[in-house]
Amino acid sequence: MSQSKSYDLVVLGAGSGGVRAARIAASLGAKVALIEKRKIGGTCVNVGCVPKKLFSYAANLHFDLIRSAAWGYHIPQFNFDWNYWTNFVAKDINRLNGLYEATIKKSGADYFNGFGIVEDPHTISIQSSSHPAITLQADRLLLATGTRPNIVEVPGSEYWITSDEIFSLPELPKHLFIYGGGYIAVEIATIFAQWGTKVTLATRSTFLKDFDPDIVNRLYKEFDLLNIEYIVNDSVVRLEQKDNYISVHFKSGRSVVCNVSLCAAGRSIDLEDAGIKNLLLKKNTQGWLEVDSQFQTSISDVFAVGDITGYLPLTPVALRQGENVARHLFQKDFVLKPINYENIATAVFTSPPIATVGMTLEQAKKQGFTAHVFQADFLAMKYAPHREHAVKTLIKLIVCTESDRVLGFHMIGIDAPEIIQGMAVALQAGVTKAMLNETVGIHPTSAEEWVTLR
């Protein structure tokens, strides 16, 4: 027999945005239910940022070990144990799932692991193999169901895997083919190439299209150093499997033979998978759920945060949106300030990584600014013992000529994400080039270059 319970807020999707919203709303005294059909923590914890960053550390270590003789270490032999490593990562993710669940329970919210299907804006049924069906009544509903990886539909598309599977492959692939030119494609390429996997990376256009072109050119040097074969402006038209190999065929007539073919072609909303196909929600022209400045969808009492809203699909953005919507709904004195999406820093965990905040020169010009560029190009000290196996650091500062205000920071080099986080604070605070000039640096660091650019 089906049970029924009533809540002030039902949150569908326990990823970054959903967990944050549920926790804050419950701590403000609201009666909250949080529903997740897969694992708590969502894409970021289970198949995204967390495993990716751990894999990136492991791959960087492999690269360093290979070059250890240049530092005077004689390590005659070492092996990388893929099974050990993937088991460790799975265990660490389980640990995080446990922490997330404990945090939710501590906040007072009820957590349901099952498939939440929205029957109407105030009625959600939960189906699960581990308990009888439950029906929840909600005064308000928050959709935080995220997105699913796109599959490029070509003959043989059943041979694609996606980023959902890449961190739990049964073995380290010998030859990995990656299709896509965005974050996931370039990150996975550099991680696996450092382990010695032969990587072929292809995009129908160019890589990291919205990033500074000089930074992207430096990324090509990284690809060369890691023996990553890359193909631009060509499209996959067919995949075929023979024995244990997959042949990937292109429009140009070329083909690539690999063991694993990863499709990293963006992500989109799947209303059925999210359990929200019964709601007649308005989407914008790009296919994302339309929300107003208070995160309300086209249906009253139905709110949405995170990747399904099509703002920058990054964990910290979903966290901020989740917190804001919870406070807006349940904290009486809360004044909802619009999020400034302009100055959000972002990083690409290649090796070395890229990080950026603010406008590129091209974006500044498009917005009507007259701007000029300061840049530095140098070899980070860490590479001194093996200069020939190094990608030089490049930093670029975009400054408004008229006001002297900094419009953007762009960097490729060791620790770029750690450095750019600080620069994002400065940008948000309205830093000028003169203020950077007045700042005394920390020596010897790469970060000090930002305050010595002349």
Instruction: Give the total residue count for the chain.
Output: 454
Q: Using omega within 30 degrees of 0 as the cis cutoff, is the peptide bond preceding 155 cis? A: no
State the amino acid at position 57 in one-letter form: Y
Half-sphere exposure of 93 (CA within 13 A, CB side): 25
State the amino acid at position 84 in one-letter form: Y
- Name all contacts of 374-383 with Cβ < 8 Å and 24+ positions apart: 374/399, 374/433, 374/453, 374/454, 375/214, 375/453, 376/449, 376/452, 376/453, 378/446, 378/449, 380/352, 380/413, 380/414, 380/446, 381/444, 382/414
Q: How far is the CB of 153 from ligand NDP (least distance, A)?
A: 8
**Adjacent-strand bridge partners of 126:** 116, 134
- By the 10 Å C-beta count (0-12 exposed, 13-18 middle, 19+ buried), 240 is classed as middle
Which residue, 331 or 363, is less far from ligand NDP as judged by CB? 363
CA 330 from centroid of its chain's CA atoms: 29
Beta carbons of 228 and 216 less than 8 angstroms apart:
no
Helix ranges, 143-292 (H): 163-166, 183-194, 213-225
Q: How far is the CB of 211 from ligand NDP (least distance, A)?
A: 10
Other CB atoms within 10 Å distance of the CB of residue 355? 25
Per-residue tokens: 218:
């430096």
Binding interface with ligand NDP (CB under 6 A): 150, 152, 180-185, 187, 203-205, 209, 264-267, 313-314, 346-349
Which residue, 303 or 311, is less far from ligand NDP as judged by CB? 311
Which residue, 47 or 304, is less far from ligand NDP as judged by CB? 47
Which residue, 164 or 214, is less far from ligand NDP as judged by CB? 164
- The residue of the chain with the least Cβ separation from ligand NDP equals 182
Q: How far is the CB of 81 from ligand NDP (least distance, A)?
A: 26
**Adjacent-strand bridge partners of 10:** 33, 141
The Cα-based distances of 206 to 31, 217, 220 in angstroms read: 48, 11, 11
Q: How far is the CB of 307 from ligand NDP (least distance, A)?
A: 8
Other CB atoms within 10 Å distance of the CB of residue 108? 16
Which residue, 13 or 313, is less far from ligand NDP as judged by CB? 313
Say which residue the tokens 């492991």 belong to.
58
Q: How far is the CB of 432 from ligand NDP (least distance, A)?
A: 28
Beta-carbon contacts of 351 under 8 Å, excluding residues fewer than 6 positions away, are: 56, 59, 60, 63, 190, 191, 194, 222, 226
Which residue, 209 or 372, is less far from ligand NDP as judged by CB? 209
Q: How far is the CB of 421 from ligand NDP (least distance, A)?
A: 12
Q: Which of 122, 131, 410, 443 is catalytic?
A: 443
Q: How far is the CB of 395 from ligand NDP (least distance, A)?
A: 19
Active site annotation includes 443: yes
Which residue, 136 or 314, is less far from ligand NDP as judged by CB? 314
Beta carbons of 175 and 198 less than 8 angstroms apart:
yes
Q: What is the 3-state secondary structure (H, E, C) of 110-167?
A: EEEECEEEEEECCEEEEECCCCCCEEEEEEEEEECCCCEECCCCCCCHHHEECHHHHC
Half-sphere exposure of 451 (CA within 13 A, CB side): 18
Which residue, 144 or 399, is less far from ligand NDP as judged by CB? 144
Q: How far is the CB of 311 from ligand NDP (least distance, A)?
A: 10
Which residue, 11 or 185, is less far from ligand NDP as judged by CB? 185
Q: What is the set of active-site residues?
A: 443
